[in-house]
Amino acid sequence: MNKKGILIVVSAPSGCGKGTVLSEILKDESFYYSVSAATRQPREGEINGVHYNFMSKEEFENHINNGDMLEYAQYCGNYYGTLKNQVDEKLNEGKNVILEIEVQGAGKIRKIRPEAVFIFILPPSVKELRRRLNKRGTESEEVINARVAEAANEIRQAVNYDYIIVNDELADAVEDFRSVIKAEKLKTVCSENIIDEVLENA
């Protein structure tokens, strides 16, 4: 029974361990991580098609004008976005496509793909988030304070998502994520083709 995949939009503040959760989820080949398109220059160690789909500003703007972008934004003079055909191709193959997007981008996706599943990953507390950011040892106290303040603003937007997963223990967060997708696949709206197949030749 061939079923279309589910579009999954995931957001989380920096330091929540979202990347670690998704790394575990993506070990399951039924999931596909959508690689964003970007017009900035690749950084050292970044691989085209793995970290980003790098392209020229002109090429990106052509995609915008042709209506090829599912969502896009400009940041520090560069474009970042998601190509529709990349997402839809994988969904039609039955893959569950994960879009890792900040809250503003998620809001745009909600308007054009309301059938998508929106998941927000939370830290156990803001105090724990600060501890995790400090543990990285890569940023000054001033930068960490700014990140925590930004995170608090993002967390307030979590009420606009379908599901909230608290990443306290990694194994629990991963299991919660899988449970969400399993439940979504059992929804009637996702199972109409299965019902038709079961009733075939009845």
Q: What's the pLDDT score for residue 202?
A: 64
Q: What's the pLDDT score for residue 85?
A: 95
Q: Is residue 121 located within the same domain as residue 195?
A: yes
- Domain range holding 43? 35-93
Query: pLDDT of 149-160, one tens digit each?
Result: 888 889 999 999
**C-alpha torsion 149→124→156→102, nearest 10:** 80
Q: Is residue 55 located within the same domain as residue 109?
A: no
Give CA 90 to chain center in angstroms: 15
Q: Is residue 122 located within the same domain as residue 163?
A: yes
Q: What's the pLDDT score for residue 135?
A: 86
CATH at 39: 3.30.63.10
Q: Is residue 123 located within the same domain as residue 191?
A: yes
Distances in Å between the Cα of 26 and the Cα atoms of 96, 122, 183 are 10, 19, 18
CATH at 186: 3.40.50.300
> Which is nearest to 20 in space by CA: 184, 182, 178, 169?
169
Residues of the chain with pLDDT under 50: none
Q: What's the pLDDT score for residue 188?
A: 64
